[in-house]
Amino acid sequence: MTLMLTSDSAPLYTGADWDYDKVRRTYDAIERIAVGEMGLDIYTNQIEVITSEQMLDAYSSIGMPLLYKHWSFGKHFARDEGLYRKGLRGLAYEIVINSNPCISYIMEENTMTMQALVIAHAAFGHNHFFKNNYLFKQWTDADGILDYLSFAKEYVAKCEERYGFTLVERVLDAAHALMNHGVHRYPRRRSLDLRLEAKRELERQEHAERTFNDLWRTVPSKTGGPHPLSDRDRRRALLELPEENLLYFLEKKAPRLQGWQRELLRVVRHVAQYFYPQRQTKVMNEGCASYCHYRILHTLHERGLITDGAWLEALHSHTSVVFQPDFDDPRYGGLNPYALGFAMMQDIERIATTPTDEDRAWFPDLAGRGDGMAALKEAWANYRDESFLLQYLSPALIRKFRLFHVRDDAREPEMRVQAIHDERGYREVRQALARQYDIAWNEADIQIVDVDLTGDRRLLLEHRVMNQVVLEEEEARAVLQHLADLWGYEVVLEEVEAASGARLKKHTVGPRTVLGGRSE
Amino acid sequence: MFTIIDRRLNPKGKSLANRQRFLRRAKEQVMRAVRDASGRRKLKDIDVGGDIVISPDGIREPTFHRSASGGLRDIVVPGNKEFMTGDRIGRPPRGGGGGGNEGSEDGGGEDEFRFALTREEFIDLFLEDLELPDLAKRKLKVTESVSFQRAGYSVSGSPTNLNLVRTMRNSLARRIALNRPTGDEVKALREEIDRLERDNSDAERLRAARAELEVLLRRTQRIPYIDPVDVRYNRFQAVPKPSAQAVMFCLMDVSGSMTEHMKDLAKRFYMLLYLFLTRRYKHVDVVFIRHTHRAQEVDEETFFYSAETGGTVVSTALEEMQRVVMERYPVEEWNIYAAQASDGDNALSDNAKTSALLSQVILPMCQYYAYIEVGQDGVPSGIGYGGGSRETDLWRTYKTIQGPSQPLAMKRVTHRRDIYPVFRELFSREAAQDAMAEGVDA
């Protein structure tokens, strides 16, 4: 049996081995389809061939080609390496970096078909997504990231040289513990110009040195001392509280940190901010990339540019990537973002081209508009996972995945099935699933609410508890310990029920060692 | 347009710095794990590195996250087969199945951390701060190996050692000094001649220019661009590298009174000693001598595992050792170490002979002689020198020999966990310094 549909041209390559010529030919063919026909808008590609060991390296430093040194990356490397050596875990086929030019790593062990798949997936799919999604546009600077990381790496190395490993490590440990709470969730006035960061740091220092005048110290203060900030609101306004970006607050306001320690917090904060969009767009990003590789390779095969064998190999990889086990399957480990993303992209295309009556009722604007690619590009540009699911998850797909919504209330002996894939349940399932991908729902909402500046400088934080789920105590205390070390004084975290304002729990932690050796 | 770059040849081990930081961070746990792991290995395989498991204390990376239990949770999962709205389901057992989308991130299920150490890391950690006593005393091996070191420049050498920077610097200096015309000058003149030829205006100047060019060209030919006198080579000097060698004698009493447990203790001690010596010496030979009432050189397998019956005459082992040394390990070429393990029994009549042999023959030729007295597990024993009435024959005998000028160390061990501390005590840095100091005194 032959699957060859048309064979108007010779295949780009045969066999499993790859070489640079084949990769170039294949890349050009893929580009003709991706850019010429699908109209993807991409950063210039830079494809780098690496070994599996280098892939492990890249893994351990959260996928970045250069990053400052820290023991936790060594720990991850040791674990990944162990798992890989024993064959318990395979390596990702690719890593792609949101930078301009867009760097994709491909492994030398891959077959030529895998390289084609990876190029279509990463160098075109992810690349298009990085360049066009609004979150990435707003929060990341693809042009400057590599320069910034190289600045950060050097800066950390210099600090280690000057202040010793231990001190630097302590600051970085503390900063890493707070990393997830070191992002701005809403755009601010200042723009994130990462490229100028190194220069600005220097300028800040120079300015401080230039304007230093010892005379100011001798100027007598107003009679009666500074105006006492008794009014809580005035105090909060002064410190711009409440503040949910804990690292930002510490960097700017912690009384006892030294300049270099603040700069380290800033580095970690920037890295966290850079990854913030990725955490919010897993389903879409992978969906987009999977859709692209599938469509591109399918087209290549249709035109006879790859052999039947290569196509079957690609299909094998593709299906194992987008496989979704059921909840009662031992292999189940949550919803697979590749599976859900890929299915949704295909579904959007289907609704746009061949809608059913149900689709017309659910998606009046989208159904039957004809141009699937345009609809997809619109979705890729303007949504994040949560809003994307809320907007595009169709009843047909809910039926296909047989999604159901379970409510687990600790006060009741059993869990209750709230909704299943039926007429009454679609909206509820969709809403619940979208929330599952909303970072604001998933992550604890922790804010700094007050500082007792005139008294003992105690820092007051609040966790707004949702659905009575409090923080995991042991870990929370460990993080608070880090926080207290940075702040230099006692730190209190109160867990407050969001709806009723009831106070559920209170953790108080004093500083163990003050990180800022001397007060300023 | 796209670029494809081959990064495979980039330097490896980019994560090495991170790994070192990690090991430093987890040092305590890793050390403990390394010592545990060493208990399970064969003597010669001890130094191959390998997997270790450490507890995650001190290498946790805490984050704020919500607790995995309690409260009200909404979960959406795929694969419904039989549930209808309103059905009630029992909770799945913790840790498995269809619940917790946020259950086990970093904090929850991670009880131990497993990773692999390389051979070097393993040994470094294992033998941290130990020192060989009296290391400087004895001979280097006769055949010395040679290593090459950079040592300035020379005017002759092989083309691979050509130093381009030096050569070109000399060449430039010479060219300037001898006023060799530069390419630019020649080019400018040629252009001028061209122009004049085309213009045909100033015949005088043309002739002059031609003459000038000829002079320049001649000069260029006379004064070479690179002259043999310019050439410099990197010079390498052969530096003799002393390589010391050591032989380690393992003596063990294998008579019926030695139980498996005792042999195991002895084996562990030998293992440590072997490992330690291989760190200090390029070449280490191991000689196994077992004895009952007669002694015999055997291989490792036999040494540890085969049973033998008979009385106990320690001096036979010492004689056997003496014989082997005479035959194969000349004292001036080899650093000789010996470790003896015994339960302390010896035939009463043999004590005097043993004592004489040890103090007059064996100790003078040894770098270090360690006597380990192994006891029954669970029998309390005063580790150290004051065993009181429970001192064994051999212990008493050796004690008379022991003195500040003798390289003899004695320890008692009854339990596996004592081995390592005892070993450390024998070889800790201070002990080594003491030994050195004593050596000077004597």
Range picked from A4-8, A310-314, B200-204, B361-365 for highest mean pLDDT: A310-314
Instruction: Indicate the pLDDT class of residue B439, thresholds 50, 70 and 90.
Output: very low
From chain B, the residues in CB contact with A74 under 8 A are 15, 17-23
The ipTM assigned to this model is 0.75
Is the pLDDT at A519 greater than 80, yes or no?
no
CA angle (A360 as vertex; A359, A362 as ends), nearest 5: 60
For B12, the closest chain A residue by CA position comes to: A54
**What pLDDT score was predicted for residue A214?**
80
Q: Which residues of chain A have a CB within 8 Å of the CB of B22?
A: 71-75, 77-78
Q: How far out from the chain centre does Cα B376 lie?
A: 34
Q: Which CATH class is domain B245-441?
A: alpha beta
| pLDDT-wise least confident of A176-180, A359-363, B53-57, B135-139 | B135-139
Predicted local distance difference test score (pLDDT) of residue B96: 42
Confidence at residue A285, expressed as pLDDT on a 0 to 100 scale: 92
CB contact residues (below 8 A), chain A span 123-162, against chain B:
123
B136 in A contact zone (CB under 8 Å): no
pLDDT category of residue B145 using cuts at 50, 70 and 90: low
Contact check, Cβ <8 Å, A27/B2: yes
- Tell me what the mean pLDDT of segment B309-320 comes to: 83
* pLDDT score, position B435: 47
- Nearest Cα residue in chain B from A476: B64
3 state DSSP class of A151 = helix
Distance from CA of B418 to the nearest CA of A (A): 31
* Burial label, B30 (beta-carbon count in 10 A; 0-12, 13-18, 19+): buried
Both structure tokens of A98: 């949101």
Distance (Å, whole) CA B381 – CA A437? 64
| Number of neighbours of residue A115 by Cβ within 10 angstroms | 23
The minimal CB distance from A70 to the residues B2, B21, B69 is found for: B21
Provide the shortest C-alpha distance from residue B271 to chain A (in Å).
Answer: 27
DSSP states of A19-42: -HHHHHHHHHHHHIIIIIIS----
pLDDT band at A41 (very low <50, low <70, confident <90, very high): very high
List, for residues A407-420, the tens digit of each pLDDT value. 888 888 888 898 88
Query: For chain B, how many residues are written?
Result: 442
Q: Do A420 and B12 touch (CB under 8 A)?
A: no
Residue B108, pLDDT above cutoff 80: no
Cβ atoms of A34 and A294 within 8 Å: the answer is: no
> Phi/psi class of residue B288: alpha, beta or left (left: φ > 0; alpha: ψ in -120 to 50)?
beta
In one-letter notation, the amino acid at residue A35 is V
Which structure tokens are listed for B30? 């890793």
Contact residues, A window 247-276, toward B, CB-based 8 Å cutoff: none
Angle between helices A308-321 and A282-302 (to 10 degrees): 170
Given its phi and psi angles, is residue B369 left (phi above 0), alpha (psi -120 to 50 degrees) or beta? beta
What does pTM read for this prediction?
Answer: 0.69
Tens-digit pLDDT profile for residues B111-139: 577 777 777 777 777 666 565 554 444 44
Cβ-based contacts of A34 with chain B (< 8 Å) = none
Query: How large is the average pLDDT for residues B373-377?
Result: 76
Kindly report whether the peptide bond that precedes residue B407 is cis, defined as omega within 30 degrees of 0.
no
B93–chain A Cβ distance below 8 A for any pair = no
Q: Give all strands of the β-sheet with A459-465 in edge-to-edge order.
A: A445-451, A459-465, A491-497, A503-509
B409 Cα to chain A: minimum distance (Å): 39
Q: Are B75 and A436 within 8 A, CB to CB?
A: yes
From CA B283, how far away is CA B299, in angstroms rounded?
18
Interchain CB distance below 8 Å, A46 and B101: no
Write out pLDDT tens, residues A118-172.
999 999 999 999 999 998 888 888 888 888 888 999 999 999 999 988 889 889 9
pLDDT at A5: 45
Q: Report the residue of chain A nearest B118, measured CA to CA.
A: A78
What DSSP character marks residue A120?
A: I
Q: Which helix (H) or strand (E) holds A48?
A: strand A45-50
* pLDDT over threshold 70, residue A88: no
How far is residue A228's CA from residue A238's CA, in Å, rounded to a whole number? 13
**What pLDDT score does B432 carry?**
47
Helix (H, G, I), strand (E, B) or coil at A253: helix
| Backbone φ and ψ of A488, nearest 5° | 95, -10
CB-closest option in A46, A50, A402 to B80:
A402
3-state secondary structure of A178: coil
**B177 confidence band (pLDDT: 50, 70, 90):** very high
Mean pLDDT (whole number) for B431-442: 43
Contact A468 B71 (CB under 8 A): yes
**pLDDT of B360:** 85
- The domain segmentation of chain A, as residue ranges, is 20-133+281-316, 322-440, 444-509
Q: Vertex A338, ends A336 and A343: CA angle to 5°?
A: 100
pLDDT tens per residue, range A234-244 = 777 777 777 88
At residue B397, the pLDDT reads: 82
**Which residue of B1, B2, B8 is the best one to mutate when testing the A interface, meaning the one whose CB has the most A CBs within 10 A?**
B2
The nearest CA of chain A is from the CA of B273 a distance in Å of 29
Domain boundaries, chain B: 24-34+45-58+112-126, 159-235, 245-441
Interface of B with A in 27-66 (CB under 8 A): 51, 59-66
Residues 6+ apart with CB under 8 A from A254: A262, A486, A487, A488, A516
Neighbours of A224 (CB within 10 A): 7
Supply B389's token pair: 């009435």
Angle formed by the axes of helices A473-487 and A165-177, nearest 10°: 130
Chain B CB contacts of A463 under 8 Å are 64
- Both structure tokens of B188: 């400018």
A512 lies within 8 A of chain B by CB: no
Residue of A nearest to B64 (CA): A476
The residues, any chain, with a CB within 8 Å of residue B165's CB and separated by 6 or more, are none
- Other Cβ atoms less than 10 A from the Cβ of A77: the count is 23
- Amino acid B129: pLDDT: 57
Q: What is the mean pLDDT of residues A16-27?
A: 89
- Contact residues on chain A for B110, CB-CB shorter than 8 A: none
A31 touching chain B per CB within 8 A: yes
Looking at chain A from residue 72 to 131, which residues have their Cβ under 8 Å from any Cβ of chain B? Answer: 72-75, 77-79, 81-82, 85, 101, 105, 108, 123
Contact between B98 and A414 using a beta-carbon 8 Å cutoff: no
Contact B362, B338 (CB under 8 A): yes
CA distance linking residue A440 with residue A280, whole number of Å: 10
Query: What's the mean per-residue pLDDT of chain B?
Result: 76
Instruction: List CB contacts (< 8 A) between A468 and chain B.
Output: 70-72
Report the side by side order of strands in the sheet with B368-374. B295-298, B283-291, B245-253, B335-342, B368-374, B408-413
Interface of B with A in 342-401 (CB under 8 A): none
Distance from CA of B94 to the nearest CA of A (A): 13
CB within 8 Å: B71 and A419: no
Minimum distance, in Å, between the CA of residue A118 and any CA atom of chain B: 14
In this predicted structure, the answer to whether residue A288 has a pLDDT above a threshold of 90 is: yes
Contact A240, A254 (CB under 8 A): no
H helix or E strand, kind and range, residue A378: helix A372-382
How do residues B284-309 score in pLDDT, each as one tens digit? 788 888 888 888 888 877 777 777 77
Residue B18 has its nearest CB partner, among A27, A69, A446, at A69
| Residue B109 binned pLDDT confidence (cut-offs 50, 70, 90) | very low
Distance from CA of residue B116 to its chain's centroid?
A: 16
pLDDT for A229 beyond 60? no
Q: Which of A62, A64, A71, A486 to mutate to test the interface with B (most CBs of B within 10 A)?
A: A71
Return the pLDDT at A31. 92
Report how far residue A353's alpha carbon sits from residue A423's, in angstroms, rounded to the nearest whole number: 24
A13-27, A184-198, A286-300: least confidently modelled range? A184-198
In this predicted structure, what is the pLDDT of residue B52?
74
> What are the distances in angstroms from CA A251 to CA A262, A313, B54, B190?
5, 51, 34, 68
Q: How confident is the model at residue A196 (pLDDT cuts 50, 70, 90)?
A: low
Q: What is the pLDDT of residue B171?
A: 94
A20 contacts chain B (CB < 8 A): yes
Give the CA-trace dihedral at B398, B400, B405, B407, to 10 degrees.
0
Q: Is the pLDDT of residue A11 over 80?
A: yes
Q: What tens digit of pLDDT does each residue of A259-270 get?
A: 899 999 999 999
Look over chain A and give the mean of its residue pLDDT values, rounded to a whole number. Answer: 84
What residue of B is the nearest CA neighbor of A169? B21
**Cβ–Cβ under 8 Å, residues A123 and A26:** no
- The pLDDT score that the predictor gives to residue B40 is 59
Q: How many angstroms separate the first and last alpha carbons of chain B? A: 80
Are the C-beta atoms of residues A295 and A391 closer than 8 Å to each other?
no
Q: Give yes or no for a contact between B8 and A49, defined as CB atoms under 8 angstroms apart.
A: yes
Longest dimension (CA), chain B: 125
pLDDT of residue B437: 42
Q: CA-to-CA distance for B151 and B236, rounded, in angstroms? A: 5
* Residue B337 vs residue A41, higher pLDDT: A41
Q: Is pLDDT larger for residue B255 or for residue B130?
A: B255
pLDDT in the model for residue B242:
65
Provide the pairing of β-strand B283-291 with B245-253. Answer: parallel
State percent of chain B over pLDDT 70.
79
For the segment A50-67, the average pLDDT, to the nearest whole number, is 78
If contacts are CB pairs under 8 Å, which of residues 221-280 in chain B contact chain A?
none
Question: Does position A257 have pLDDT exceeding 70, yes or no?
Answer: yes
pLDDT at B25: 83
CB contact under 8 A, B79 and A435: no
pLDDT surpassing 80 at residue A513? no
List, in order, residues 6 or more apart from A68 with CB less than 8 Å away: A152, A153, A155, A156, A157, A172, A267
Contact flag A334-B5 (C-beta cutoff 8 Å) = no
Mean pLDDT in residue range A439-460: 83
Name the strands in the sheet holding B72-77, side by side, starting at the edge strand that comes first in the sequence. B72-77, A404-409, A415-419, B88-89
The secondary structure of chain B, three-state, reads CEEEEECCCCCCCCCHHHHHHHHHHCHHHHHHHHHHHHCCCCCCCCCCCEEEEECCCCCCCCCCCECCCCCEEEEEECCCCCCCCCCEECCCCCCCCCCCCCCCCCCCCCCCEEEEECHHHHHHHHCCCECCCCCCCCCCCCCCEEEEEEEEEECCCCHHHECHHHHHHHHHHHHHHCCCCCHHHHHHHHHHHHHHHHHCCCHHHHHHHHHHHHHHHHHHHHCCCCCHHHCCEEEEEEEEECCCEEEEEEEEECCCCCCHHHHHHHHHHHHHHHHHHHHHCCEEEEEEEEECCCEEEECHHHHHHCCCCCCCCHHHHHHHHHHHHHHHCCCCCCEEEEEEEECCCCCHHHHHHHHHHHHHHHHHHCCEEEEEEECCCCCCCCCCCCCHHHCCHHHHHHHHHCCCCCCEEEEEECCHHHHHHHHHHHHEHHHHHHHHHHHHHC
**Using CA atoms, how far apart are residues A242 and A250, in angstroms rounded to an integer?**
13
Is the separation of the CB atoms in A117 and A314 below 8 Å?
A: yes
Give the nearest partner residue to A51 out of B8, B59, B79, using CB atoms: B8
Which string of b and e fits B4-29 if b means at least 16 CB within 10 Å?
A: beeeeeeeeebbebbbebbbebbeeb
| B8–A61 C-beta distance less than 8 A | no
For chains A and B, what is the number of CB pairs under 8 angstroms?
263
> Pick from A31, A108, A470: which is nearest to B8 by CB?
A108
